[in-house]
Amino acid sequence: MAKAEDHRVRVARERRDRMRAKLLATVMSTAGSLGDRLPTVDDVIRDAKVSRATFYKYFSSVEEVAYILGNELVDEMAYSLRALLSVPTIPFLQMTAGVQLFLMRSVTDPLWAAFVTRTDYISRDTELLKVMKRHLTQCRREGQVHFNDIESAVSLFVGALMEAMRHLVRSGKRKRAYVEELSVMILLGLGVERALAVKTVRERAQFIRDLAPERLPWWRDPWD
């Protein structure tokens, strides 16, 4: 009897997980045709072919779904960075590659970027932010960046990255020069000498384009 009950519990959980994933995917796909506007609940239940009661069984609003999506998409990106940088390297190079990867994905997947920037998840006290602080602190200790206050450095880093992603979403332009110069300017703001900043950004961009096709399932080259 216990095994039969366990089976029913497992089946019910799997059914709930599938429906939740379906609703999340529907909000994201439906938002893709609406520009900056989030879909309404009516939009979502129409496209998902479910009842209003079913939607509210899982979520309180479309805004809640967008918030959850943003969180999950950033978590996925953190995993992508670990997969790309599987061989340990110096924090300065990891930090520069991280900026580049977020911006490159924003070019090829503006819907992804729209959800990530909508939640401001990157700027909250998450594991990703802790890694940023750790890298910046170590880079300063090793003399590769120069600043007095870590919180100011993090604000510059995250603020510039988020605004750049929003710009790429709004403009719809695939400008390599913008992505590279913005990455350079973040390093300049952290006290890196310009020649080194330019050299590092270009080298990390090529590093990403060489390895990402094999390591990142979502990857599309933004400059092809």
- Domain parsing of the chain, residue ranges: 1-59, 67-215
Q: Given a cut of 90, is residue 221 above it in pLDDT? A: yes
* Confidence tier at 129 by pLDDT (50, 70, 90): confident
Tokens describing residue 6: 């366990």
pLDDT tens-digit profile of 169-194? 888 888 899 999 999 999 999 999 99
CATH superfamily of 67-215: Tetracycline Repressor, domain 2 (1.10.357.10)
**pLDDT score, position 171:** 87
* Three-state DSSP string of the chain: CHHHHHHHHHHHHHHHHHHHHHHHHHHHHHHCCCCCCCCCHHHHHHHHCCCHHHHHHHCCCHHHHHHHHHHHHHHHHHHHHHHHCCCCCCHHHHHHHHHHHHHHHHHHCHHHHHHHHHHCHHHCCCHHHHHHHHHHHHHHHCCCCCCCCHHHHHHHHHHHHHHHHHHHHHHCCCCHHHHHHHHHHHHHHCCCCHHHHHHHHHHHHHHHHHHHHHHCCCCCCCCC
Instruction: List the single range of 36-40, 99-103, 117-121, 133-137 with lowest mean pLDDT.
Output: 117-121
Distance, CA of 187 to CA of 183 (rounded, Å): 7
Tokens describing residue 12: 């019910």
10 Å Cβ neighbour count for 151? Answer: 9
pLDDT tens-digit profile of 29-39? 888 767 667 88
Q: Which residue has the higher pLDDT, 163 or 130?
A: 163
**pLDDT score, position 59:** 94
The answer to whether domain 1-59 has CATH 1.10.3470 is no
* Confidence tier at 198 by pLDDT (50, 70, 90): very high
